[in-house]
């Protein structure tokens, strides 16, 4: 089955800096890569996703890049703010009826 590795497990940045979280996947048939943000005590929520037919997608301060050849994808957060502090999960899926496989999560702390 699919295996998703996520790094780093913890990330500490100063407000205004950029943060990058990286994930690798093992199944070359995976074609859908969502990212979830989970604030303390709350449910995971989808913040951005990318499909295998594009290499990059942006939404304001958040961007995701995908390298299909290397089988890795990354989440980029620019101009970080304290409210970006949360646990971020990546996932990979083959779409259709295939259930996404989640990474282990990255705890991001943005210091004011």
Partner 1 sequence: SAVISQKPSRDICQRGTSLTIQCQVDSQVTMMFWYRQQPGQSLTLIATANQGSEATYESGFVIDKFPISRPNLTFSTLTVSNLSPEDSSIYLCSVWRDQETQYFGPGTRLLVL
Q: If binding is defined by CB under 8 A, does position 108 make contact with partner 1?
A: no
Contact between 53 and partner 1 (CB under 8 A)?
A: no
The candidate with the shortest Cα–Cα distance to 61, out of 88, 43, 81, is: 81
Name the nearest CA neighbour of 11 among 89, 91, 87, 97: 87
How many helices (H) and strands (E) the chain has is answered by 0, 11
Q: Could you say whether residue 85 binds partner 1 (CB under 8 A)?
A: no
CB-nearer residue toward partner 1: 30 or 80: 30
The distance of closest approach from Cβ of residue 92 to partner 1 in the complex, given in angstroms and rounded to an integer, is 11
**What are the residues binding partner 1 (CB under 8 A)?**
32, 34, 42-46, 49, 89, 91, 93, 95, 97, 99-100, 102-105
């Amino acid at each position: 089955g699919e295996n998703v590795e996520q790094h780093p497990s913890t990330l500490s940045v100063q407000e205004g800096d950029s943060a990058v979280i990286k994930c690798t996947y093992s199944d070359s048939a995976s074609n859908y890569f969502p990212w979830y943000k989970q604030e303390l005590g709350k449910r995971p929520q989808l913040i951005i996703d990318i499909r295998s037919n594009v290499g990059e997608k942006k939404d304001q301060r958040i961007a995701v890049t995908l390298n299909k050849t290397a089988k890795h994808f990354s989440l980029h957060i620019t101009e970080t703010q304290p409210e970006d502090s949360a646990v971020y999960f990546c996932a990979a899926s083959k779409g259709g009826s295939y259930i996404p496989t989640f990474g282990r999560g990255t705890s991001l702390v943005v210091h004011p």
